[in-house]
Amino acid sequence: MNLIATAVQRLEEIMKDGGCEEGTVSLAQNPKLPLCPYPRGVCTGACFGDRRGHVVTADPIQACTKVSFMFGAPLKSPVERTAACAIINAVTGFFCINRKMNACGEAHHAPCLRDLMAEVSGKRVAVVGEAKGLPDALGTALVPDPADADVLLVTAPGLVSDDGLAAIEAALGTKRVIFLGPSTAGVALLQKVEHWCPYGH
């Protein structure tokens, strides 16, 4: 069972016997939503009750489904994992477990990057997933192979991709792994993985 499927299993335990597991979730592209400056891709938003979550991905989707579609599913494809991450973000927001639903404004992009670079200073860093700004900011600290890194910085496209997910799972427990931005917040929260989004709300 992969990292995202395990997060779904934990969410299922939280929702057990509450009646919300058959609630409807709508998934659609949301090009107008302000996004975290790190992931590169298209925004897929998820609406559950009065809460909206999203995930930035190379595999955007549009569908109407139920939360329970994820329960017990192996989530083997990037598209399925994209849907699951978006739904996890919306549902954890609905239950007030997730407080990082939205990206910060542009005024906070520079301080966020500065603080993140200070956090990983002196380390070999791999970026897992399509990213904007991070490779240039890391400079010579950037390593192409996550196996050679001291720290992995994970964007949402990396979390849902086959290679990215494999790299994350190989690194957890052996090196520092930091999930970035609101797109990864729900999975990071459920899996108790370090999450970076100091100015999100």
The string of pLDDT tens digits covering residues 42-98 is 999 999 988 999 999 988 889 999 999 899 999 999 999 999 999 999 999 999 999
pLDDT of residue 59: 83
Same domain, 14 and 82: yes
pTM, to two decimals:
0.95
Whether residue 119 lies inside any domain: the answer is yes
Helices vs strands, H then E, count in the chain: 7, 8
Q: How many domains does the chain divide into?
A: 2
Q: Mean pLDDT across the stretch 155-181?
A: 97
**Cβ count near 103 (within 10 Å):** 26
Whether residue 201 lies inside any domain: the answer is no
> What one-character DSSP code corresponds to residue 39?
B
Whether residue 35 lies inside any domain: the answer is yes
Domain final residue pick, 94, 124, 153: 94
pLDDT of residue 179: 98
Whether residue 13 lies inside any domain: the answer is yes
Question: Hey, what's the torsion of the CAs at 142, 182, 158, 120, to 10 degrees?
Answer: 20
Whether residue 131 lies inside any domain: the answer is yes
Same domain, 114 and 66: no
Same domain, 15 and 56: yes
Domain final residue pick, 67, 94, 121: 94
Whether residue 42 lies inside any domain: the answer is yes
pLDDT of residue 1: 81
Whether residue 122 lies inside any domain: the answer is yes
pLDDT of residue 53: 95
* Dihedral sign, Cα of residue 51, residue 56, residue 57, residue 61: positive
Q: What is the CB-side half-sphere exposure of residue 114 using CA atoms within 13 A?
A: 6
Owning domain of residue 83: 3-94
Residue 173 has pLDDT above 80, yes or no: yes
Whether residue 150 lies inside any domain: the answer is yes
Strand order in the sheet with 63-66: 51-57, 42-48, 24-29, 63-66
Same domain, 89 and 112: no
